[in-house]
Amino acid sequence: EWFSVDGHSFLAVANEYGGGSRDIDSMIFQRSGTAFTRFQSVPTHGAADWEWFSINGTSYLAVANWRNSASNRDIDSVLYQWNGTAFTVFQTIPTHGARDWEYFSVDGLSYLAVANL
């Protein structure tokens, strides 16, 4: 997921599996000149998707956690908020095998939908 916050460009990468485990960090990279450099590491569980959105000038980043290494799909997905220097946990949301997030607005109201398996 590519997005910009406060004039900085970021790329959030969802890591689903690595080193024999689904309980691995996903990465947020920041564009620096002509390359992306590691900005922040985020604990995830079989991460499948990132969704960036902004409400009233506040930036959020949601990660869809699909399943952990024990194949448990009843795990929380996490909503992060930009605090000016990093993304911090804003809210955990119970999900069941989350695969995708979509943010949208209708008639001035904001919605965040999750696709569960």
pLDDT of residue 49: 97
pLDDT tens digits for 4-57?
A: 999 999 999 999 999 899 999 999 999 999 999 999 999 999 999 999 999 999
Query: What CA–CA distances, in Å, run from 48 to 13, 44, 73, 101?
Result: 9, 9, 12, 9
DSSP string, 8-36: EEEEEE----BTTBSEEEEEEEEEETTEE
CA dist., res. 59 & res. 69, Å (int): 30
Two tokens at 13? 């990468």
pLDDT tens digits for 78-89?
A: 999 999 999 999
Residue 57's φ and ψ, nearest 5 degrees, are 85, -5
* 95-105 average pLDDT score: 97
pLDDT of residue 81: 98
pTM of the model: 0.94
